[in-house]
Structure 1
């Protein structure tokens, strides 16, 4: 059984991912639009960001760049690699739950990751996933 990743390592991975994707999207916005001020606006770059979070874990054994740097990855509850269905449930349905609860679900999830023994958040339960420390080697 792989060791579940706790709140701080998951937060660190998300912050790193936000910084990395922010830099990449700002660079692309500059190339496409001529300035970076449009990064916060709705644009085709939003699709790129969504696809990054959806597809990279499927093709890279549960990693996105931030998680890889922090030594954690997303897996199915069984320990198998995630599928496109797991990631769709995790991102889309989990995101809808957080939006419809006006962010309360996100706060509850943070407490769940910090306090539960299995460190699973609401989106992990929806998708049948967990975030674990990557195996050495």
Structure 2
């Protein structure tokens, strides 16, 4: 059993703090570099921040440190590069795969119609047809499935005793309120002295 797991609201608070930090960074990068490069730079910095900072700072990001929670491996040790790759990249692919697959299927279904509209944008005879509507429905279905997976992950943090989400299960991690010096896992070997 994991000791002091962090629940949904405190984890949300940590993510909001990190989000505010990157909104400010993004604002200044856009002012300095322009919109396209500034937004790309912000996204890249944010990705590496979430991937690397917990490895070098005992499982903390700035937001997590502000609310005194951190990421640990289920065996109670600090996260590694491979752990964070699974937690960030692999789970990110899992969460976004339905949208990507839906978009590919939708584009395949409606490619001919889309090409005709792009070639002749002012032609009134090129109205939305059933094929395009079906493609749109497939894309919306992919978005809905990704949203359901994210919602399921949030619900897991709220209702599971160990407060682990889908990305925690994939990476073998959990989020704790323990600081680096505290024992991370309670065990059956704890002995009370009389």
Is the TM value for this pair above 0.5? yes
Q: Which stretches in structure 2 are left out of the alignment for 5+ residues?
A: 99-145, 182-194
Which residue does the alignment assign to 1:123? 167
Q: Is the 8 A contact 1:98 1:104 kept in 2?
A: no
Report the 3-state secondary structure (helix = DSSP H, G, I; strand = E; otherwise coil) of the residue aligned with 2:179: coil
Q: Partners in 1 of 2:41 and 2:68 — Cα distance?
A: 30
- Asked if 1:51 is matched to 2:48, the reply is yes
Which residue does the alignment assign to 1:2? 3
Query: What is the number of residues matched between the two proteins?
Result: 133
Rg bigger for which structure?
A: 2
Which residue does the alignment assign to 1:105? 149
Output the aligned Cα RMSD.
Answer: 2.0
Q: Is the 8 A contact 2:26 2:39 kept in 1?
A: no
Which consecutive segments of 4 or more residues in structure 1 shift more than 6 A? Answer: none
Q: Which is richer in helix? A: 2
Q: Is the 8 A contact 2:5 2:163 kept in 1?
A: yes
Q: Which stretches in structure 1 are left out of the alignment for 5+ residues?
A: none
The aligned runs of 1:64-75 (5 Å cut-off) are 64-75=61-72
| TM-score between the two structures when normalised by the length of structure 1 | 0.89
Q: Partners in 2 of 1:45 and 1:6 — Cα distance?
A: 28
Please identify, of 24-33 and 112-121, the stretch whose mean Cα deviation from structure 2 is larger.
24-33
Q: Is the 8 A contact 2:4 2:177 kept in 1?
A: yes
For residue 136 of structure 1, report the CA deviation from its aligned partner. Answer: 8.2
Q: Partners in 2 of 1:121 and 1:136 — Cα distance?
A: 22
Which residue does the alignment assign to 1:62? 59
Q: Deviation per CA, 1:89-122, whole angstroms, max 9, x where unpaired?
A: 1111111111124222111011100000000000
Which residue does the alignment assign to 2:30? 29
For residue 29 of structure 1, report the CA deviation from its aligned partner. Answer: 2.2
| TM-score between the two structures when normalised by the length of structure 2 | 0.64
